[in-house]
Amino acid sequence: MIKKIVCDSYEDACRYAADIYAGQLKAKPDSVLGLATGSTPIGLYNELISRSRAGLIDFSRARTFNLDEYYPIKATHPQSYRAFMEEHLFSKVKFADTRIMNGETADPHAECAGYDAQIEAAGGFDLLLLGIGVNGHIAFIEPAASYPLGSYLVDLAEDTIVANSRFFSEDETQPVIALSMGLSPIFMAKRILMFVSGANKADIIKKLFDGYLHTDLPASFLHLHPDVTIVLDKAASGE
């Protein structure tokens, strides 16, 4: 079941989502958190940084696993998701441990299997943050006829490559393949927070709530999870 919270503005949505983290970390300081990259969570991460600096949230015992990483890419590459997370969160908030799939591995399949094993060994996610792509992807689980259960190497969809081209300058090569968390670790999460912002997401959000499970809309599978909250601003809600 998806609980939908529409906030007046992006700033309000960031505060609402940050309250969810505050409650989660208070209840379980050693929470296992799943984290996303992209434009949408940046304001939320800034809110978490402020609250952490103000002593209102303590992440020092929490462990994190990110949803995805480009492939192949060096962790030190400015466009890697490791670099993104260091810039926007990890360099500013202390966590017990932060993991992201290794975009430099020679054996991506072993990397994915190992990542799933690490998430399972950690007990699965207490709180998993997801965004949604304009094509309905979650993590980099792109619309397809069938889906691997575990984490996997995925060819990015044309829509995703176009949407993410805004992050790359003309002289930078944009990766077209990624390592993505699979459906199993996502559905093992006790609680899922989907965070969405902007008018460019209104069409896909409308389809997400049309009362159907769509095989070509991976986010619609979330209707089958028992504890999903989607926090979105008015622009994304289409209201």
> Please, what is the minimum distance in Å from the beta carbon of residue 204 to ligand F6R?
10
| Residue 18 sits in the site that holds ligand F6R (CB under 6 A) | no
User: From CA 79, how far away is CA 176, in angstroms rounded?
Assistant: 13
Query: Would you call 137 a catalytic residue per the annotation?
Result: yes
**Distance in angstroms (rounded) separating the CA atoms of residues 47 and 63:** 19
Cβ contact 26:61 at 8 Å: no
State the binding string over 108-147 for ligand F6R (x if CB under 6 A, else -).
-----------------------xxx---xxxx-------
User: How many chain residues interact with ligand F6R (CB under 6 A)?
Assistant: 14
- To the nearest 10 degrees (0 to 180), the angle between helices 41-53 and 10-27 is 50
DSSP states along 210-233: SS---TT-GGGGGGGSS-EEEEEE
Residue 37 binding ligand F6R, by CB under 6 A:
yes
Q: Which one of 68, 69, 116, 126 is the catalytic residue?
A: 68
Please identify, using beta-carbon distances, which residue of 60 and 165 lies nearer to ligand F6R: 165
Please check whether residue 184 is in contact with residue 223, taking contact to mean a CB–CB distance below 8 angstroms: no
**Does residue number 39 form part of the binding site for ligand F6R (CB under 6 A)?**
yes
Q: Who's near 67: CB < 8 A, 6+ residues apart?
A: 34, 35, 36, 37, 130, 139, 140, 180, 181
Which residue among the candidates 102, 111, 116, 137 is catalytic per the annotation? 137
Nearest-approach distance from CB 94 to ligand F6R, in angstroms: 22
Whether 155 is a known active-site residue: answer no
- Which of 71, 76, 96 lies closest to 86 in space, CA to CA? 76
Whether the CB-CB separation of 125 and 35 falls below 8 Å is answered with no
Q: Does 219 bind ligand F6R (CB under 6 A)?
A: no
- Give me the least distance between CB of 129 and ligand F6R, in Å please: 9
Shortest Cβ distance from residue 183 to ligand F6R (Å)?
13
* CA–CA gap between residue 77 and residue 4 (Å, rounded): 36
Establish if 67 lies at the interface with ligand F6R (CB under 6 A): yes
Assess whether 135 carries a catalytic annotation: yes
* Residue in 66, 135, 164, 233 annotated catalytic: 135
Find the shortest distance in angstroms from Cβ 27 to ligand F6R: 25
For residue 172, how many other CB atoms are within 10 A of its CB? 12
Residues with catalytic function:
68, 135, 137, 142
Q: Contact residues for ligand F6R (CB under 6 A)?
A: 36-40, 67-68, 131-133, 137-140
